[in-house]
Chains A and B, each alone.
Chain A
Amino acid sequence: MAALFKNLVRNKVMLFMVLPGAIWFFFFSYLPLIGTVVAFKQYRFNREGFWASIVTSKWVGWDNFKFLFNGSDAYIITRNTLLYNIAFIVVGLVLSVAMAVLLSELVGKTLAKIYQTGMFLPYFLSWVIVGYFAFSFLSMDRGMVNQILGWFGVERVQWYSDPKYWPYILIFVNLWKAIGYNSVIYLASILGIDRSLYEAAMIDGASKRQQIFNITLPLLSPIIIIMTLLAVGRIFYADFGLFYQVPRDSGTLYSVTNVIDTYVYRGLKTTGEIGMSTAAGLYQSVVGFILVMISNFIVRRMDKDSALF
């Protein structure tokens, strides 16, 4: 106890700096953990409030999880969620790193700022608005794409009832929205690289290409790994707005747009079983947790310093 107290005093500045974040995590991440117990209960209201409701609700074991694995949809939603997220991670990574490298090589700094801001902007748009943007392009009778197709005498496409285009549309829209934000993170890290390394390389006659592949990318790899690990942890969470708003909840597209989050929403919006939605959330976080542990383990095996922990 005495040693602990001594430790506390010695690190007081550090601990004080951690305090706001610790409080936030405590309230918004650790405290709600108690609520996961709802996943195993048939939640019913009690007039004494939330805690009493949890205590008095009936235990139902694993019943709340069953709907996630019931019928043919279980395969489709798991497949869609996983494949889309993998595509977002891989393509997103390549494009945002490429964009960050390009931006860092721009000589005109004002121009770089303009590009950066322009790319950053979509990140702040709500999915509802992005959904209407997409609609103005893809609407059957007034959409821009169909009008352009019309000029060339190509038959108009019923975008919102033909599933085959949607994997590409969804990936494109997601990248358009996310790349700006991610590339700024990579750009910041590139700007932190010691310029003398490049000067030395230039003196040795290294080309721009060689500089990028032998200095920028290797020094960028820790942040790339961290960002990817974090993304892997959320691989079982789908971006609800993207998969619900952008395809306008069109039933004929479900085979390629239904993901875990939209499935849960559609299945429970009328019955409102809190236990079942909690179960879905718990399932997603547990799988995410396991995947992060595994990938972190692999990273640690290959390169100990890049691992998260």
Chain B
Amino acid sequence: MIKSRRSFSFVLAMLMAFVLVLSACGGSKNNAEGNSNEPAVEAPVNLIWYTIGTPQQDVDKVMEAVSKYTLEKINATITMKMVDWGDYPQKLQVNVASGEPMDIIFTASGGFDYVQNARKGAFMEMDDLLEKYGKGIKDTIDPAFLEGSKVDGHNYGIPANKELPQENVWRFNKNFVDKYNLDISSVRSLESLEPLLKTIKEKEPNVTAFGMDKNFLPNIPYDYVIQNLPMAVKLDTTDYKIVNILETPEMKQALTTMHKYYEAGYIAPEAATTGSTNDLTTSGNWFADMAQTQPLADNLWSASYGYPVVSTPASNSIINNNSVQGSIMAISANSEHPEKAMEFLNLLNTDPVLRNMVDSGIEGEHYKKIDDTHMENLPASKSYDMPSYSLGNNMLLYLNPNDQSDKWEQFKKFNAEGVDSPILSFNFDGTKVATEMAAVQNVKEQFWASLMTGTVDPDEYLPKAIEKFKEAGLDKVIAEAQTQLDAWRTANNK
């Protein structure tokens, strides 16, 4: 037995040696390739572009057409790899960690987190590249985007030019508004919703009066240092003090109102564990909810739900990190051709032909143009249906048949009206308090959704949550954030 075991380990050792030799061969082959590419500067390069969205059947076909165009313009071809919504963060994490060849990576505050991964070294710092090859970008994109997406003073990505501020609205299912002749013009605060919700609850007991999922967050005039962690700065602050948002009177009042609505049955009993409100919007079985808006959003919603939706403002229009970092394209730190990648990003954000090809596919096959600015999808567009927001400058896109001609003008006006958050472009670095952050995250998960949706009584649970956050070390995290914020203020003369 012992003897055979020894020979077994011998086999293992042989195997290991074999594998090492194999991998060494593989490595040297790669190197050789890398070297032989270098002298041939004129050879066209291929850029690998990872982006988010359900993989489309015609991606390769469209990219062939795109490559033909870019080969002419910048001597580069494009390979696009789409990764489905839910898999994107994990898949990209693995790709970056394992050094998979990539040139352009989609990133966002909600996708493959931009700030965190920039700090971890996933993206290439692009200040010089932007200066050298990105002139078009600097001229076209709202400067607030480039400013707001800086991490520790450097640019690591090109944000998509789209709606810039974050503004919440109350949305209403117009069918019910008309049926009961409700006046929505007087609605603004959370409290002002009450009479409307009450009417609906009485007259339509089977309709969800106030629709929401577990991510619901009442509007209060603070900006979060990290999304959904209870550290925030008041929007009209002068001393830049970070507070625990759960301890503010505004939050207390909002949560009390939410709990009142919950008890009254305006809110679905399982709101705190509901992942999305798709069921409600599809069935039309809801009356009011809160959403982020953009110009002409009512038309968009009405068209996608199939019944009229109207909205009225619920908050001011604020430009914060979250709204600025909603869609960014970065250059991978391991990119072999960062200059070409930058040239491509520049072209993508300034050239309408390329931008629309990437967005809608091949003209005459996936879409047709109606006039200079409008286009119409053809049946084949189903096999190339891309999320526009993630693919660069939106304001170059052709309009849909029923879009108003001044759509992008309205966007520019909307963007100009947004007010900067006091902590716009301050990005907290949690490395030093990583241990506490993990504990604080857990407390947040435990209390957040049930408090915010009004499921639990704030009189009882708010003190409990505050206590648990303290135990988890929130004070230490806030102190660290405050130190960083003060340093940032001094550096930026705020």
Contact = CB atoms under 8 A, between A and B. Distances in A.
Query: Quick one: which of A52, A72, A251, A276 has the most chain B CB within 10 A?
Result: A251
A11 B4 contact: yes
B442 A263 contact: yes
A63 interface: yes
Contacts of A158: 269
Query: Quick one: which of B113, B122, B334, B473 has the most chain A CB within 10 A?
Result: B334
B435 A251 contact: no
Contact of A67 (B3, B439, B455, B468): B439
Query: Quick one: which of B11, B430, B435, B442 has the most chain A CB within 10 A?
Result: B442
B272 interface: yes
A216 interface: no
A251 B450 contact: yes
Helix, strand, loop or mixed for chain B's interface? helix
Nearest to A51: B99
Given A19-B11, A72-B471, A73-B472, A48 B334 contact: yes
Given A4-B7, A22-B12, A273-B434, A71 B472 contact: yes
B270 interface: yes
B447 A251 contact: yes
B479 interface: no
Interface string A126-162: 0000000000000111000000000000000010110
Contacts of B447: 251
Helix, strand, loop or mixed for chain A's interface? helix
B445 interface: yes
Interface stretch (A94-102, A109-117, A198-206, A264-272): A264-272
A53 B15 CA distance: 26
B430 A271 contact: yes
B333 interface: yes
Interface string B85-128: 00001000100111100000000000001001100111000000
Nearest to B472: A71
B441 to A, nearest CB: 5
A47 interface: yes
Given A267-B438, A272-B113, A249 B7 contact: no
Contacts, number: 152
A26 interface: yes
B419 interface: no
A269 to B, nearest CB: 8
B10 A268 contact: no
B307 to A, nearest CB: 23
Contacts of A22: 8, 11-12, 15
A70 B430 CA distance: 16
Contacts of B273: 160, 248-250
A252 B10 contact: no
Contacts of A267: 437-439, 441-442
B203 interface: no
Contacts of A139: 270
Interface in A166-220: none
A70 B439 contact: yes
B380 interface: no
A163 to B, nearest CB: 11
Contact of B334 (A8, A49, A71): A49
A263 B166 CA distance: 32
B6 interface: yes
B436 A251 contact: no
Interface stretch (A38-46, A230-238, A298-306): A38-46
B16 interface: yes
Nearest to B274: A248
A272 B430 CA distance: 11
Contacts of A274: 97
5 contacts: A141-B269, A266-B442, A267-B439, A268-B441, A271-B434
The 9 closest A-B pairs by CB, nearest first: A49-B99, A267-B438, A67-B438, A45-B121, A47-B334, A248-B273, A140-B269, A67-B435, A66-B435
Interface of A: 4, 7-8, 11, 14-15, 18-19, 22-23, 26, 30, 42-50, 52-53, 63, 66-67, 70-73, 139-141, 158, 160-161, 248-252, 254, 258, 263-264, 266-274, 276
Interface of B: 3-4, 6-8, 10-12, 15-16, 19, 89, 93, 96-99, 113, 116-117, 120-122, 226, 268-270, 272-273, 333-334, 430-431, 434-439, 441-443, 445-450, 455-456, 468, 471-473
